[in-house]
Amino acid sequence: MVAAKENERCWYVAQIKPFQDYLRTECGLAANTALAYGCDLQRFSAFCGDLKLKDPEKLTPLQLQNFARFLSEEKLATSSISRHLSSVKMFFRFLILIGMVKKSHCDLMESPKTWQRLPKVLNKKLTVDLVTAIDAKSPMFLRDRTMMELLYATGMRASEAAGLVLRDFNFQIGYLRCLGKGEKERIIPIHTTAVNYAKDYLENLRPKLLGKKQETAFFLSRTGRPLNRVEVWRIVLKAAQQAGLTGKVTPHTLRHCFGSHLLAGGADLRSVQEMLGHADVSTTQIYTHVDHEYLRSVHKQFHPKA
């Protein structure tokens, strides 16, 4: 029974890997993004298998609508449903490109409207409390404090911080090189405190973690292997607990704080966009909305008519 279902959808499954390769090499998308699209398509593949759909061109608008309804019934968030539908649209465009499909109804699908949620941003005091919360007696203090300093100093994503290598740093002029989504390179300045902690970690802890291994990754685990993005999250979560912060605090929280605090301090939007690695300035503009919320709270608190 399982084998039969796999055969029914083999036309589909066999093209997911080439599609992911296309996204990375031709479209310049990050590996994690291509992986997420693949996971979305696996779910769509199961849906097509249940329909016993053997010919992709026979996929009807009603069936596509039913897929969206199926995702909603699975209690997926609106943003996740939108991404699933985008994955399917892009996939069928790929099938047309390689000549496997001549036409598709996928572009007729409308994604559900999503609310634009303001990112969670800590005020400057709480951000400093978070960055400095790592216990100085911890064996990994220098590594973890360096990580926290760099995340706030640069606004890097967790995967970007985990991907840093030794040659990415220029301590003399206070800059580091960061490879973002789609392997796009950007140069970000780092302040003196972050530089000093990074040097201290390099000189006094990293050699002990490395031992006799040969490794170019900047951040290492206790066993001398490169850190991954999950371990970066754990470092931030541990710091949030030690700082006594409630609610969800992640590496992206520090990224949001970086962007918001720069704009609130008078930085221009284009420079912040460049440092965050946003492809579209509209993504960066959300931090101006965060600042407007702060101004509204100040107005409400101090204006005699508020």
150 close to 283: Cβ distance less than 8 angstroms: no
Assess whether 181 carries a catalytic annotation.
yes
In the chain, the amino acid numbered 252 is H
Rounded CA-CA distance 168/202 in Å is: 13
22 assigned to active site = no
| Residue in 157, 206, 256, 261 annotated catalytic | 157
Annotated catalytic residue: which of 54, 93, 181, 229? 181
Task: Clarify whether 175 is annotated catalytic.
Answer: no
Active site annotation includes 234? no
The reply to whether 157 belongs to the active site is yes
Calpha distance 304→155 (Å, rounded): 38
Runs of H (alpha helix) within the chain? 2-8, 10-13, 16-25, 31-50, 61-73, 78-97, 124-131, 141-154, 158-162, 192-204, 206-210, 229-243, 251-264, 269-276, 281-284, 286-302
Write down the catalytic residue from 83, 143, 255, 256.
255
Sign (positive or negative) of CA dihedral 278, 282, 288, 293:
negative
Single-letter amino acid code for the residue at 200: D
d(CA 200, CA 197): 5
Q: Which residue numbers are catalytic?
A: 157, 181, 252, 255, 278, 287
